Every structure is written in C-alpha cells, then in structure tokens.
Amino acid sequence: MSTENELFSAVDALLEQVAQDDLPGPAERKRLREAAGLSQAQIATALEARREAVGNWEAGRTDPRPPKRAAYARLLEGLAARYPAPAADAPAAPAPVVPEAFTGPAPEPEPVSAPAVPPSRPKTETSSTTRPSASSRRPGAKKAVAKKTTAAAGAVDPRFENGPLAVIDCEDGQVSAYCVGGLVLDVPAKSIPALVDWTLTEARLGQARLHRNGRDADPILILTEAALTRFGLPAALSEGERNASRLPEGHKVVKQIGKAGLQLTQRGFGPWARVFREPEGSRRRCVQLCILPWNALDTREWGRKDDPQLLLTMHPADLAQYLGLYAARVMTPRGTTATTGLELMVALRPPTRAEKDPATGEFKRAFNDDALTAVYDVVECEVPDEHPLLKDKFARHHMRTPAEMLMEEPYDWCRPLTDDECVNQFLVAVDLNMSFAAAANSLTVGLNGPTHLTGNPKFDASLPGSWLVDLSHVDLSRVSINGRTVDGDRLPSPFTPKGDHPTGPAWYATPTVAYAVELGFDVAPLEAHVRTQSGRYLDAWYKRLRDAYVETMADMGVTTDLGGSEFLNAMGRRKQVDPTMALLETAIKATAKGGIGKLRQRSRGQVPYYEEYPALKRETWRPDIRAAVLANQRVGLHRKLMKTAAAADLYPVSIGTDAIVYPSSGPSPLDVLPHTPEDKSTPGTFRLGVSPGMVKHQGTQTVLWAEQQFEERGGVFNIANLIKTDQSAGEGE
C-alpha cells in the first residue's frame, strides 16, 4: 500500500507531465511577461536559468526542459489568469523568429488570415514530427533564423541551416552542440569519429562559398574541456605534444580515426585538426576541430589580453554567437586570425574555375585572371634573410643593406621635442583605423612572376614591383603644399621605416617611388623587378573587412555619422556597451593585419636557415604584395603629415606603425587636429571617424611624462607605443 507522500509524488508527476504538454506559444510567453512588467532576467533568476535561455523560449528557438518546464508553465498559467489575451476577430499572424542576441529590425510579417500552425504544439506531437533519434535537434527546439549581417546576405542555404559552426560541450553526460542564434542540438556521438560523421550527415553545419568559383567552408566544431574529457582527449597537451603541435600517432583517438576510415591532414591531430573522408564527386566531406583548451584561439587575437581565461570560461552559447558573427561578417575561422585573413583573400579571389571545353563538352580547370594562380620565382631583394635563395650569398651574420634588401616596413620613428613644443602640456596620440586594410584599398599589385629590367629603366608607376633607385636628393623643405613649405627636419623621411634620410641607392616598392615623383622630384632607377600582369587583387578583401568592422562598431554605438566629441565619447564607452562586439572588433583588426603579414610568412624555426619551409609552396606567399601594401600605408600616412604641417604648422614627435603623437595644449584630439572655420576637418589632414583610414584617439600623456621617459630610457624607444588609454590594446592594427 503506497504512503500518502508517494501518492502525492505520483500526482505531482502527472501534473508536471500535463504542464510540459501545455505551454503557450512563444509570442504569448513574451506577451505575458511584458504584461506583468517582468524582465527576462527576473524570470531566469526565479527558475535558476540563464537570461539567454528565457529569451530563446520566448523566441521559439528552444523550449524549457524538466524540471524547469513545469515551473515555467505554472508561472505562465498564473500570468494568463491575471492578464488574459485581448479578444480579436481573427488570430494574428505569428511574429517572425529573430534571435534576441542580434540587433536590428525584424522582417515585416506577411499578412495571413489564419496561423499556419497552432500557437503551441504538445510534446507528443513534436516527437512524431521531428527527425529520428539519431537526429540532434532538441525536442521542441525550433530552427534558428539569423539576422542578415551584410547587405549581400541571402536566403539561408538549407545545407547549412544550422550555421557555420558549433561549440561542443558536455554537461551531466549529455553532449550538446551550441549553434548560432541560440540553437542547441543534442549530439548522439560517443567518439570523435562518430562526431565527425554526425556533423557530415546530420548537423547541417557549414558556410556557402563567398565567390561563385570558390568552395563552401567546412563545418567547424569548437570543443570545450568537458567535451575533450567526454571523447577521451587530454585537457592539455604535454610539453612534447605542444612542441609538435599534435597528438602522437599512437594516441587512442588518432587510432580510432584511422580505424573508422577517416583521415587527418599532415598536421595531424592538433589544436586545429582537419578530419575528412574522401570526397564524393565534387562534395567535400571534411570537418575542422578547434580544440579550445589547446590554445586554438589565441587570446591576443580572439580574446582579451587582460583576461586570458575569458574564452575558456565563456558560456558555449555566447562563444557560438561570437564566432558565428565573425563567420557571418568575415568568414568561418580557419586557425589564427592571420591564417583566416589569408584564406579570405583566396575565398574572394579563387585561383581556378570550371570551364567547359567546346570540343569535348567536358568541364576542365581554368585559371582566373584576377587571382594568384601559381608559385613564381622570387627575387633576392624581396625575400627574408632565411630564404633558400640567399644561401651562400652573404657572410654569416651579415646584415643586408637597403641596396640589398627591400625594406618596406611601417614607421618606427621618434624625435626629441623642440623648446617651442615643450611649452605644450600634453602629447596626444591618434591612431589610424585599419591602416593596413585601408592601404590595400584600390592598390594595384602584381599577379604574375617578376621581370628583371636593367640598363637604367624608366620608372613606370603602373608596374608593381621593386626598383633600385637613389632618393637621397629628395628634400622635403623644397616641397610646397598649397603654396606653403614645411620644416623637413621635423618630419620623418617617407622612404625609410626609421624616418632616416636615404644615403644612396636602395630598393623601394612602386608606391614609394611614385610618391617621390608626386612630390615633384626626378627619379632614375638603376634596375627593377616588375610584374607585367597586375590588378586590384585586395579590393574585395578590403571591402569585406571594412564592412565587417564598420558594422561591428555600429553595434557598439559608433556609427559613421558621428563626429567630434560624439565620436570620441562613443569610442570611449563602446567596450562596455557590448563586450562580445569588443572581442569581434579585435578579431577583425587582427585579421586585417595578420593577413597582410602572411603574404611574407617567415620560417618559424622548424627548419634551419636557407632550407625550404611550407609557406614557400603557397601561391599566396608574395612578399612583393606585402611590401606594396606597407609602402602604400607609410607614404599615405606621410602625405597626411605633410598636409597637416602645411595647414596648421603642426608636426609629429613620434610615429609607431599607425599611431601619430602630436604636442597639444589640450588632452583631446579636438585640441590639436586642424579644422576649417566651419568646424570640419581640414581637407587632406587626419579626420576623426570610424571608417578605415580615419583616426581615433589612442591616448594622452603629458610632456613632462615624455621628458622623464627620455631621461630614464636614454631615448632608445618610441613613445608612440607607450601612450595608450587602453593598455590592453596591441601594437598598431
């Protein structure tokens, strides 16, 4: 005979089951909460849930699971008794499902006479209409609908309806995949091979190609520490494994992958592991695993320097939102931000396309004229010191001179303050937004191999490449800007990274020599290595990153229509507005900077000097293109320095990459940057704003502080690298 408590427990179980089957529709859940004046956070606290979970319930992306489901149903029942729904002649059209995590207006619903589905659906009905048990969508969870993040975004590709990536986590023995838009999938896999096969067959993850001649992005799975434990992987690599960047071949998971007929790339199973089966026709069957605890996402690029554990402690849903936004605005991550930046170039300018042979009717591979399609011979002056081409060329420890090496690098220049400048109280540093990406915009670069010109060739600015020319005769004091000359002694030379005046023939990229011609000086090259096939290879890359950056900044309240103090105030509070967007801002900037750097990737020490290393086998290993971008960035910066000096008799005291320091009577950029009588930026000078190429405030220090630094350090440093309001910021962008 059951006791009274046991009978009550049985009745409570029946009531809970009834409550689970009797939830109102998502729109009604939200209406009831708002009618009661409750916030999502209040409900989350009462139910011991996350605020994001309550938002998902109200958006219809997921439904609560026991035991929270019964409590949530009881709450809604009580609210419905107090706030009944208003009477209507006909049911309203269901609201469009828009993830709360995304901002922006929802699409307008189409007018209908009656709802296509009931406002709520019992769980018993759901179980009969969802996919089989091997399927992964949690019961009651609805398909997430992501907001368009770019103007070019189209309809969701049904092959990738669950987004480009998922964060794999394990809690209480249940493996879950957190996707973009708050969608959570149940993962039935119990091993890494099963996880890969589930991803390929059921998860519907991936990203459509960015160019019609490109290829779709492989799905990315980000594994948390709990997931590693669940699948038999170590939470951290040993010292030997870290040095090799991979697990040993004898590890049980690596053996499982082989026994399942899956393959690993030559890099093996490391922080970024690529696991695949042989393609089926033109369909790739590849999954990339991002092992979060193995430092797959470098904190300096993807996280915050002052919080190295942030990525490891971030909730899987938040991490999926962050990386999903990056994938939507830039592309699916491929490793480091630098690697992703380089892959973005290839994705937007694919080297090959399918072309139909008119004779046979079959398709064959053809090369695209606007892309990098082959590995060409390199030039001695353009390669780094460890390149095999330089073997036995110079004595050991020889330092190559500008006449032997193309030294196109960003500025690292500093000079002492004059007596007149010391009268000012402050030093204000402004920083160019996305300076390397901006320098790539509309830049003509070489697409084929070098052609060697000898016998004093005539300079041609339309030919990208390297020129051996003597620019020591260029005197900035003889240059007139709008009828005014400048003090050349207080400006760096535009031809050297250190700002020193050139002393003889040296190798320069085409933009540098073209700038000397622009200043009105004759140039007489001795020889050159030029590319006869050229194009604006980086234009699409720049526009993609520009749009991603501007849209992300707008999400933090920094829009392109802000100016002056409004812009400075918005920049100062942006990281508190949305910390996730602040991470995204850092990642986008690192992608732009790292992608340019990858064009001349150096040996990482795996091999000794003068031996081949893997990067040299890439079509995108193009040091001449990197040199052209950096040269364009430096001369573009110098062009604005000249116009600022001519317009306001204002001269910098330090430049570090893309940060410029000016003496000022006040602590704000508004106190120093020249303006017209209409209070607008003087044309051609530095302009405050969020767009790439415009400037923002980097920091302010006093002149007294600078003098103390010079005394303590002996002048062997650059104060531009020390003046930062945000000390967690990196060097340049």
Please say if the pLDDT value at position 126 is more than 90.
no
Asked if residue 158 belongs to a domain, the reply is yes
Last residue of a domain, one of 310, 335, 360: 335
Among 370, 349, 497, 506, which residue's Cα sits nearest to residue 444?
A: 370
Residue 464 CA: distances (Å) to CA of 142, 208, 696: 53, 33, 31
225: containing domain: 130-335
Question: Which of 100-114, 213-227, 581-595 is the least confident region?
Answer: 100-114
Write out the two tokens for 137. Answer: 């969508």
Question: Which of 57-66, 118-127, 516-525 is the least confident region?
Answer: 118-127
Length of the chain: 733
153 shares a domain with 277: yes
138 shares a domain with 50: no
Quote the percentage of the chain above a pLDDT of 70: 86
Residue range 677-703: average pLDDT?
92
Please say if the pLDDT value at position 590 is more than 60.
yes
Residue range 231-235: average pLDDT?
94
| Strand, helix or coil for residue 685 | coil
204 shares a domain with 276: yes
Per-residue model confidence (pLDDT) at position 27: 85
The mean pLDDT of the chain is 85
Torsion of CA 706, 711, 717, 722, to 10 degrees: -30
Give the largest Cα separation in the chain, rounded. 109
Asked if residue 32 belongs to a domain, the reply is yes
SS3 per-residue string spanning 478-496: HCEECCEECCHHHCCCCCC
66 shares a domain with 135: no
Question: Which of 174-183, 204-213, 335-344, 599-608 is the least confident region?
Answer: 599-608
Most confident of 25-29, 115-119, 375-379: 375-379
Distance CA 394, CA 442 (A): 37
Contact, 375 vs 447, CB < 8 A?
Answer: no
Higher pLDDT, 493 or 14: 493
179-197, pLDDT tens digit by residue? 998 999 999 999 999 999 9
Angle at 593 between CA 493 and CA 674, to 5 degrees: 50
69 shares a domain with 28: yes
Asked if residue 180 belongs to a domain, the reply is yes
Residue range 131-149: average pLDDT?
39
Write out the two tokens for 649. Answer: 């008799």
601-617, pLDDT tens digit by residue? 999 776 778 899 999 99
Per-residue model confidence (pLDDT) at position 197: 95
Higher pLDDT, 122 or 244: 244
Per-residue model confidence (pLDDT) at position 64: 84
As a whole number of Å, the CA-based R_g of the chain is 30
20 shares a domain with 98: yes
Asked if residue 609 belongs to a domain, the reply is no
Please say if the pLDDT value at position 150 is more than 50.
no
Asked if residue 87 belongs to a domain, the reply is yes
Distance CA 450, CA 528 (A): 9
Name the band, by pLDDT with cuts 50, 70 and 90, for residue 152. Answer: very low
Distance CA 475, CA 486 (A): 10
Contact, 655 vs 637, CB < 8 A?
Answer: yes
The strand pair at 263-264 and 272-280 is best described as: antiparallel
Per-residue model confidence (pLDDT) at position 7: 55
Contact, 103 vs 96, CB < 8 A?
Answer: no
Per-residue model confidence (pLDDT) at position 563: 83
Write out the two tokens for 190. Answer: 């119990």
Q: Which residue has the tokens 């004093």?
A: 456
**Which residues share a beta bridge with 272?**
290
Distance CA 287, CA 553 (A): 31
Among 407, 639, 683, 685, which residue's Cα sits nearest to residue 516?
A: 639
419-431, pLDDT tens digit by residue? 999 999 999 999 9
Contact, 652 vs 642, CB < 8 A?
Answer: no
Among 405, 397, 340, 346, which residue's Cα sits nearest to residue 587?
A: 340
| Strand, helix or coil for residue 277 | strand
Write out the two tokens for 38. Answer: 């409750």
**Which residues share a beta bridge with 29?**
none
Higher pLDDT, 114 or 651: 651
Among 310, 347, 319, 195, which residue's Cα sits nearest to residue 260?
A: 195
13-30, pLDDT tens digit by residue? 555 555 445 688 888 888
Please say if the pLDDT value at position 315 is more than 90.
yes
Per-residue model confidence (pLDDT) at position 70: 80
Per-residue model confidence (pLDDT) at position 2: 53
Please say if the pLDDT value at position 169 is more than 50.
yes
Name the band, by pLDDT with cuts 50, 70 and 90, for residue 137. Answer: very low
CATH number, residue 31? 1.10.260
Last residue of a domain, one of 309, 335, 361: 335
Per-residue model confidence (pLDDT) at position 5: 56
Name the band, by pLDDT with cuts 50, 70 and 90, for residue 63. Answer: confident
- Residue by residue, DSSP assigns 505-552 as EEEEEHHHHHHHHHTT-----SEEEE-SSEE-TTHHHHHHHHHHHHHH
Domain total of the chain: 2
134 shares a domain with 73: no
Asked if residue 258 belongs to a domain, the reply is yes
249 shares a domain with 178: yes
Write out the two tokens for 555. Answer: 């999400």
Q: Helices 4-20 & 68-82, crossing angle to 10 degrees?
A: 70
Per-residue model confidence (pLDDT) at position 445: 97
Q: Is the pTM above the cut of 0.85?
A: no
Please say if the pLDDT value at position 600 is more than 80.
yes
Q: What contacts 263, CB < 8 A, 6 or more positions away? A: 257, 275, 276, 277, 278
76 shares a domain with 10: yes
Torsion of CA 69, 71, 72, 77, to 10 degrees: 120
182 shares a domain with 66: no
Write out the two tokens for 326. Answer: 């990056």
Question: Which of 134-138, 459-463, 502-506, 644-648 is the least confident region?
Answer: 134-138
Asked if residue 298 belongs to a domain, the reply is yes
Last residue of a domain, one of 335, 357, 385: 335
Question: Which of 77-86, 120-129, 189-198, 624-633 is the least confident region?
Answer: 120-129
Asked if residue 442 belongs to a domain, the reply is no
188 shares a domain with 48: no
Please say if the pLDDT value at position 76 is more than 70.
yes
Q: Helices 68-82 & 26-35, crossing angle to 10 degrees?
A: 60
Contact, 261 vs 267, CB < 8 A?
Answer: no
Contact, 438 vs 432, CB < 8 A?
Answer: yes
| Strand, helix or coil for residue 165 | strand
Q: What contacts 245, CB < 8 A, 6 or more positions away? A: 267, 268, 270, 271
Per-residue model confidence (pLDDT) at position 272: 95
46 shares a domain with 93: yes
Distance CA 317, CA 178 (A): 5
